[in-house]
């Protein structure tokens, strides 16, 4: 795999995180268009899946690339559109399944989504594998970004060899594989003032909407005084999804302790200057199974990895590098 070096005009993990998400060109070709399907779930809820419209180009047996988005992400996140553009140019089918409540409409059930949602990831991938088979398509490849990457690798570790029934290879991009380390890091200093505030604004609004749907689901006053992910997960995410509290949730949902159980080709890509994921928390070679490739370049930020000259630059290095790694193992 080619090494990554950030442009000289964009130094540091925070700039390499923020600039690509706000200003980089997302696509080289035409604007990305999706076709949405709504899937009913067994518990009376739904998820929305966006399929790339107009692709793949003249390849009925093309592989399907599935992208699991990050915290509060969607098919319109900068990285999702960049991956969609790469998939289109490469002749792949492409789908973004939205975690519950992330598609623009609040979900129905008294739950949301979380970093270790193994059952949900498995159900989605199994259904997409059947969709591929029905259309005569090729293998299914799955990538997850940040929270979605942890959930994907957590699922792969849980499934072991059985994961190959659904996917040929998986990749996690900038996943906080040790949720406690990442959760505490984002709650301190600059991270707390910028990233935590951004996430909490939308997460709290969704939680209040959920409380209106299901009165008494959690303590409104406690949430009103929550100002970081630790408190939010303790009040909302953990109890709604069967965990004893935030510490239990972060421990049990983290993918890092399960990486040695993965039995399909898997890539874990983490920049060592990621402001969300402390470098000291990243897995080492002796902590993962033989099917897991660790790629930990010095630069890149959190889901940034910009390349090119000064603005307008782009973020296409990331989907190309990760996508080609997956394709080589299809």
Q: Which residues are catalytic?
A: 146, 274, 302
Tokens linked to 286: 């002796």
Q: What is the largest CA-CA distance in the chain?
A: 55
User: In this structure, what are the phi and psi dihedrals at residue 97, rounded to the nearest 5 degrees?
Assistant: -80, 130
Cα atoms in the 13 Å half-sphere on the side-chain side of 73: 24
β partners of residue 36 = 50
User: In this structure, what are the phi and psi dihedrals at residue 92, rounded to the nearest 5 degrees?
Assistant: -100, 150
Give CA–CA dist 131/128, Å, rounded. Answer: 5
Q: Which residue has the tokens 């009925």?
A: 60
**286 cis-preceded (ω within 30 degrees of 0):** no
Could you tell me the sign of the dihedral formed by the alpha carbons of 277, 241, 79, 263, in that order? Answer: positive
């Amino acid at each position: 795999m080619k090494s990554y070096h950030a442009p000289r005009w964009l130094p540091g993990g925070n700039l390499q995180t923020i600039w690509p998400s706000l200003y980089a060109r997302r696509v080289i070709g035409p604007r990305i268009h999706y076709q949405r399907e709504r899937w009913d779930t067994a518990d009376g809820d739904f998820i929305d899946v966006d399929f790339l419209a107009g692709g793949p180009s003249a390849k009925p047996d093309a592989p399907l690339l599935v992208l699991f988005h990050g915290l509060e992400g969607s098919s319109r996140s900068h990285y999702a559109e960049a991956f969609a553009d790469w998939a289109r140019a490469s002749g792949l089918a492409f789908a973004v399944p939205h975690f519950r409540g992330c598609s623009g409409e609040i979900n129905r059930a008294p739950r949301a989504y979380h970093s270790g949602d193994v059952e949900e990831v498995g159900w989605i991938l199994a259904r997409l594998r059947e969709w591929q088979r029905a259309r005569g398509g090729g293998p299914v490849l799955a990538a997850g970004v940040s929270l979605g990457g942890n959930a994907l690798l957590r699922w792969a570790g849980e499934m072991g060899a059985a994961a190959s029934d659904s996917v040929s290879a998986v990749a996690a991009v900038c996943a906080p594989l040790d949720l406690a380390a990442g959760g505490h890091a984002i709650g301190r200093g600059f991270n707390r003032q910028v990233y935590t505030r951004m996430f909490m604004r939308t997460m709290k609004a969704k939680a209040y909407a959920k409380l209106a749907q299901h009165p008494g689901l959690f303590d409104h006053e406690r949430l009103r005084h929550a100002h970081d992910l630790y408190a939010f997960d303790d009040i909302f995410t953990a109890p709604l999804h069967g965990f004893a509290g935030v510490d239990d949730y972060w421990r049990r949902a983290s993918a890092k302790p399960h990486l040695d159980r993965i039995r399909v080709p898997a890539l874990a890509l983490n920049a060592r200057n990621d402001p969300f994921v402390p470098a000291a928390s990243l897995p080492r070679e002796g902590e993962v199974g033989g099917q897991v490739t660790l790629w930990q370049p010095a630069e890149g930020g959190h889901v940034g990895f910009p390349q090119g000259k000064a603005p307008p630059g782009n973020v296409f290095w990331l989907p190309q590098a990760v996508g080609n790694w997956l394709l080589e193992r299809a």
